[in-house]
């Protein structure tokens, strides 16, 4: 343990060195207590200013404009009687962290002395680094070494944090692009999927057609519904041939039937009726031709 004279001489000599280096940053609270203002190195300030800025946007703050550093720390030093054979009591106080790099935002007031954010991961990491440097520097004046190390450490922390933020933003953008592309990619069509879709589609169309037909028949009179149902039951080709190629009975039925309002039918139903009528006409022509050939043979 150094004598009182050695202790005072060590503190006086160290204070003289610190005052020559930290002209504006050093605040002497008492003979045994100092506060040193610490900011990250100037080279990382553009990175700090860019945090939270969208791609393509220009930061509103810059080194050239003399904007204050987004991160400002205060290193509190309390000398112990055994210094420098024992480390001083030291703590890190966050005066400003507008970008939230070290933890929750504490204050925008440069002169405010806030309680140390000891629970934030960034401050905890910086404090552990100071403790290690102090343990390695026992036996010599170490406050300048501690302050220098803190500045380098916060600079490194800023660089790492900015890289993490950029990686997170990049991953988010890639996920958004992939999600947008997935909307247009669709599902690959296979025979199995097509067959499954076809069965489902046919069932849906049959159900839809039944509902439409029921709705239209509900608007018809009893006679119209009866005629409509008869019209849907068509004789087969064999039945027409067995009639001898004549449609007299059908013509009679048609003459007695009331005219049906075809606007009540769907487009698909009208198209089906038209095709069936054409098939009947073609079959009539064929049966007429057979009957004509039989008359010539008899002659």
pTM higher than 0.75: no
**pLDDT score of 269:** 73
Show me where the domains of the chain are located: 4-181, 221-298
Of 116-130, 193-207, 248-262, 268-282, which one has max mean pLDDT?
193-207
77 or 104, which is more confident:
77
d(CA 117, CA 95): 10
Tell me yes or no: is domain 4-181 CATH 1.10.1740.10.
Answer: no
Over residues 263-280, the pLDDT tens digits come to 555 667 777 888 888 888
Which tops the pLDDT comparison, 117 or 46? 46
pLDDT greater at residue 158 or residue 62: 158
Confidence (pLDDT) at 112? 44
The confidence score (pLDDT) of residue 134 equals 96
Per-residue pLDDT averaged across 1-29, rounded? Answer: 91
- What is the model's pLDDT at position 265? 56
Counting residues of the chain whose pLDDT is more than 90, the rounded percentage is 34
Of 177-181, 223-227, 244-248, least confident by mean pLDDT is 244-248
Q: Does the pLDDT at position 188 exceed 50?
A: yes
What pLDDT shows up at residue 282? 81
What end-to-end distance do the CA atoms of the chain give, in Å? 149
pLDDT tens, 235-245?
A: 666 666 666 65
């Amino acid at each position: 343990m150094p004598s009182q004279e050695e202790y005072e001489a060590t503190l006086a000599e160290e204070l003289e060195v610190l005052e020559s280096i930290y002209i504006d940053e050093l605040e002497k609270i008492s003979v045994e207590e100092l506060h040193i203002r610490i900011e990250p190195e100037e080279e990382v300030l553009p990175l700090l200013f860019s945090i939270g800025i969208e791609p393509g946007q220009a930061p509103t703050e810059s080194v050239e404009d003399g904007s204050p550093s987004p991160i400002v720390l205060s290193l509190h030093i309390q000398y112990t009687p055994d210094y420098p054979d024992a480390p001083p009591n030291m703590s890190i106080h966050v005066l400003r962290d507008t970008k939230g790099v070290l933890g929750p935002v504490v204050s925008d007031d440069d002169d405010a002395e806030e309680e140390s954010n000891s629970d934030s991961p960034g401050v905890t990491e910086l404090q552990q680094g100071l403790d290690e440097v102090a343990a390695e520097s026992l036996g010599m004046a170490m406050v300048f070494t501690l302050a220098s190390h803190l500045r380098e450490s916060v600079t490194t922390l800023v660089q790492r944090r900015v890289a993490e933020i950029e990686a997170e933003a990049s991953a988010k953008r890639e996920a958004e692009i992939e999600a947008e592309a997935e909307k247009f990619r669709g599902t690959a069509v296979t025979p199995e999927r097509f067959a499954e879709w076809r069965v489902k589609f046919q069932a849906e169309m049959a159900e839809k057609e039944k509902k439409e037909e029921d709705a239209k028949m509900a608007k018809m009179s009893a006679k119209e519904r009866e005629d409509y149902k008869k019209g849907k039951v068509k004789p087969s080709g064999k039945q027409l041939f067995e009639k001898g190629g004549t449609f007299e009975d059908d013509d009679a039925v048609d003459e007695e039937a009331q005219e049906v309002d075809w606007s009540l039918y769907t487009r698909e139903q009208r198209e089906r009726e038209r095709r069936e009528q054409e098939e009947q006409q073609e079959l009539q022509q064929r049966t007429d031709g057979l009957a004509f050939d039989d008359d010539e043979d008899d002659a």
